[in-house]
Structure 1
């Protein structure tokens, strides 16, 4: 049963890698054709901004491509139907969550930008900055929110940030007193 799962994984990885390489080839050919035939496009941004996607494709090829061992034809009971080859390693799953999913996003974003530049022109390279810009904005807003949250904690520790009537009370206790509900009675 485990061998069947590995064969399925190997088949899926092979199909995914072949499809990825074919799509990349078509997109890069589209870009090169439009840059030579229609109007000149900058090749430096093309090379620099597609370098991460190409590196990720090479990485996927390295970790995801299944490997086979060749066997002799005399041991036909242990060979597969793939012409005397036996699966040695199925490769890592290319549909995994987490980092692999993030790397696929980089590949797709690079492809989309390259197609947009091929169609719209050189100004579309600036759209490549959208994702890192959004990430920077998200990081800054998270940092400032955490900093603001810690400033309330540090002010509360010294007593400077609280009202005179609310020293030592939680927010829930202060609300209850404000509504006229249960009041703490000190004896």
Structure 2
């Protein structure tokens, strides 16, 4: 059963990598054709801003491409046995973030090929969004810590009487918590 899962993973990774390389090739050819035939484009931003996407694509190739043993007459599957299926390319977390970088680079490259060099400025959107997200997260954490320190001092917002939560105040009003010993 585990071998079937590995073969499925290997097939999925191979298809994903082949599709990724084909899309990259088509997008880069579109950019190069439009930059040479229609209107000249600056190649330096193209190289610099697509370098991370290319590095990620080669990293995916390295970790995701399945490896097979050398052919032997006793095996099927074109004479090769699966040695390693490769890491899953649809994993959450860092892998997902890396795919986002590749997709954003492709989108910007197509937009520059169609619209013009000014579209390279759209790469600024990602750091601006990240900065905004980090700032709001920092503000939320800071507010949370100020609430903790205010609650410890007895003067927190929304606390009912003497730094107690609403639940604690309600329990005290009913006569306190009753502990039952056996």
Q: TM-score range by the shorter chain?
A: 0.7 to 0.9
Superposition TM-score, scaled by structure 1 size: 0.80
Asked if 1:107 is matched to 2:87, the reply is no
- Which one has the largest radius of gyration? 1
Q: Matches of 2:153 and 2:8 in 1, distance apart?
A: 63
Unaligned stretches of 5+ residues in structure 1: 177-181
Residue 112 of structure 2 aligns with which residue?
117
Q: Matches of 1:158 and 1:22 in 2, distance apart?
A: 62
Pick one of 63, 80, 83 that aligns with 2:76.
80
Unaligned stretches of 5+ residues in structure 2: 176-182
Question: 1:71: Cα distance to partner?
Answer: 3.2
Matches within 5 A, 1:16-165: 16-73=16-73, 76=74, 79-82=75-78, 84-158=79-153
Superposition TM-score, scaled by structure 2 size: 0.82
Q: How many residues align?
A: 172
Question: 1:81: Cα distance to partner?
Answer: 2.6
More RCO (CA 8 Å, sep 6+): 1
RMSD: 2.5
